[in-house]
Amino acid sequence: MKTTVAGRSVLRLAHRAISDIEAIRHLAARSSLALAGELRLAIQTASLGPRLRAAFAAWRSSHPEVDLDLFEVDDREALAGMRERRIGVAIIHAQPTADMEQLALWDERILLAIWEDHHLARQSSVSLTQVRAETVLTCGGGESATLQALQASLLGPGTEMRVQHAGLLDVLNLVAIREGVALMCENHREIVLPNIRYVEIAEADAQVGLVLAWRPALEDPVVGSFVAFMRDWVRRRSLGASAASY
């Protein structure tokens, strides 16, 4: 018995269909185990910093088939994106959210960004009283609403604060040309620009909490796996820091 020309064409299509079905079954199985798929992650920082880079690198090594899609947005856009299912999970500054779960990651110190020959640049740290005497520039585009509120509460009503409708890099460039100073999170220290120096603020409350936020109602295996990974990653590093302190 021999196949006809038409039969051989049908066999080729059948083999291709069977191969596609097997690929679909394989992908579905790995997706259900969160070993494949896409993680749509929102962040609100221009620089990840060493801790987030280490976490992402560890996640990628254990989930190489998951596509990591980053969105740099402010906290309001991140929350809206999760509610609209455009974003699966977000790393934002801590704030009350009734419909979101939050995992505390760590606290970030607030630094003062100044130009290199500013009179405060010679100090190892500054007080908030010294900062209040300066013109403080804030980001009107893309900055965390939580961070803006923290800046206002730290500095008080008597400080001259000028909102710039620009992003973080533009504000730092304005600092470099002596338009004013700016309050930044500690991971922004990695943004190196000519004529810019970062100085510690010697106040215990000059810090903001960083959290991982997600919607429990979003039944996404990849998001669930990432949340579990970050919870374990933070716990292990917290235990390591505690052990190192003894």
pLDDT digits (tens, 9 = 90+) for 95-149: 888 889 999 999 999 999 999 999 999 999 999 999 999 999 988 755 567 777 8
Contact between 201 and 109 (Cβ < 8 Å): yes
Span 223-227, average pLDDT = 94
Fold identical between 37-105+209-244 and 108-208?
yes
Task: Write phi, then psi, for 71 (nearest 5 degrees).
Answer: -125, 120
Interval 168-182 mean pLDDT: 93
Task: Quote the percentage of the chain above a pLDDT of 70.
Answer: 82
Domain extent listing, the chain: 37-105+209-244, 108-208
Residues found in the chain: 246
pLDDT tens-digit map of 179-215: 999 998 888 888 889 999 999 999 988 998 899 999 9
Homologous superfamily of 37-105+209-244: Periplasmic binding protein-like II (3.40.190.10)
Name the percent of the chain lying above pLDDT 90: 47
Residues 74-94: tens digit of each pLDDT = 888 899 999 999 999 999 988
The CATH superfamily label for domain 108-208 reads: Periplasmic binding protein-like II (3.40.190.10)
* Angle, vertex CA 204, rays to CA 198 and CA 208, nearest 5: 70
Return left, alpha or beta for 32; rule: phi > 0 is left, psi -120 to 50 is alpha, else beta.
alpha
Give the pLDDT band of residue 14 (cuts 50, 70, 90).
low
- pLDDT, residue 197, reads 95
> CB under 8 Å to 166, separation ≥6 — which residues?
139, 140, 141, 174
Give the span between the Cα atoms of 15 and 167, in whole angstroms: 54
